[in-house]
Amino acid sequence: MSTCPGAAVTAVGDDVALAALGLASAAEAAAVDADPGAAAEATALAGAAAALAELLPPVAPGAHVRARLLAAIGGGPLERFAARFAAMYDLAIERAREVLGWVDDPRPWHQPFPGMQFAIFRGGPAHAGADCGLLRVAPGAAFPWHGHTSEETSLFLAGAGRDHTGTLYVAGDELALPAGSAHEFRTVSDEPLIVAVRHRGVDFAARRPAP
């Protein structure tokens, strides 16, 4: 800070405003804190700014803001799967990231069976007639024995699961099963098993093979 008294007052005054807005540098904030009057003024200004913000009416962000936000945060914790997910469902990368972000949003999910949740979405043109969705299976829960009336493709996104043959599947594994196949699997991790699935029908009445 300048040794000129007039300049010092101006500098502290500027620092007070910056400190109130949380924009002061470490040196500027220290200068304000060292002056009891300036520190009190910064606290008062910060409270006034917060109160003013609460008086302003909420404004819905435009579509371009939403797009920029999705591009910035990607698919959240599942961002590393965005490209594979988009290809699997023939989706634009922005839509793939949006659906992967559902892992942190309870609204798209429904629970048809205890320990299991589904989040359904529409695939792209190449898979317009397919059943597309995310499956979440709680720790210790099992997805029951079922057959496939068509090919089924699964991409494991989180957790770990083991099928009836003892094969272990973890995040990043992909499984393609032909029509006429059948299986079951159980979550064996401490976190839920999350799987992206694409098929055209399953049969829960499929006969289990004799041991």
The CATH number of whichever domain residue 134 belongs to comes to 2.60.120.10
Q: Report if pTM > 0.75.
A: no
- What confidence score (pLDDT) does residue 1 get? 40
Question: How many angstroms separate the CA atoms of 19 and 12, rounded?
Answer: 10
In this structure, the answer to whether residues 92 and 167 fall within a common structural domain is yes
Indicate the pLDDT class of residue 7, thresholds 50, 70 and 90.
very low
Question: Mind listing the pLDDT tens digit for each residue in 68-90?
Answer: 555 555 557 899 999 999 999 99
pLDDT band at residue 42 under the 50/70/90 scheme: confident
- Given a cut of 50, whether residue 11 has pLDDT beyond it is no
CA-closest candidate to residue 202, choices 118, 126, 80 = 118
Task: Say if residues 75 and 97 touch (Cβ distance below 8 Å).
Answer: yes
> Are residue 187 and residue 84 in the same domain, yes or no?
yes
Does the pLDDT at position 6 exceed 70?
Answer: no
Domain contains 188? yes
pLDDT at 39: 86
Do residues 37 and 104 share a domain? no
Confidence of residue 195 (pLDDT cuts 50, 70, 90): very high
Do 84 and 183 lie in one domain? The reply is: yes
Mean per-residue pLDDT, 99-115: 92
For tokens 């200068």, name the residue.
31
CA distance linking residue 115 with residue 112, whole number of Å = 9
Q: Which two tokens stand for residue 17?
A: 């405003």
Task: Specify the pLDDT at position 61.
Answer: 66
3-class DSSP assignment, residue 126: helix
In a domain? residue 210: no
Average pLDDT of the segment spanning 19-26: 80
Instruction: Indicate whether 161 belongs to any domain.
Output: yes
Question: In this structure, are 151 and 183 located in the same domain?
Answer: yes
Q: Give Cβ neighbours of residue 83 (< 8 Å, ≥ 6 apart).
A: 93, 96
Q: Which residues of 16-36 are buried (b: 16+ CB within 10 A; e: fewer)?
A: bbbbbeeebeeebbebbeeee
Residue 170 lies inside a defined structural domain of this protein: yes
Quote the number of domains for the chain. 2
Tell me the H-state helices in the chain. 5-20, 26-33, 36-55, 63-73, 82-89, 93-100
Of residues 198 and 42, more confidence is placed in 198
Q: What is the extent of the structural domain holding 137?
A: 75-203
The yes-or-no verdict on residue 185 having pLDDT over 60 is yes
**Residue 101 domain-assigned?**
yes
Let me know whether 87 and 183 are in one domain.
yes
* Residue 210, pLDDT above cutoff 80: no
Is the predicted pLDDT of residue 100 greater than 90, yes or no?
Answer: yes
Is the domain of 87 the same as that of 24?
no
* Cα(176)–Cα(153) distance, integer angstroms: 4
Q: Are residues 140 and 178 in the same domain?
A: yes
| CA dist., res. 140 & res. 69, Å (int) | 36
Asked if pLDDT for residue 171 goes beyond 90, the answer is: yes
- Same domain for 29 and 131? no
Asked whether residue 61 is domain-assigned, the answer is no
Q: Are residues 38 and 129 in the same domain?
A: no
Question: Which of 165, 150, 164 has its CA nearest to residue 198?
Answer: 150
Q: Is residue 181 in some structural domain?
A: yes
93 and 173 housed in the same domain: yes
Angle at 107 between CA 103 and CA 111, to 5 degrees: 85
Q: Is residue 85 part of a domain?
A: yes
**Neighbouring C-beta atoms of residue 204, cutoff 10 Å:** 9
| Same-domain check for residues 29 and 103 | no
Predicted local distance difference test score (pLDDT) of residue 206: 85
Across the chain, mean pLDDT equals 85
- What percent of the chain lies above the pLDDT cut of 70? 85
pLDDT of 65 over the 80 cut = no
pLDDT of the residue at 62: 65
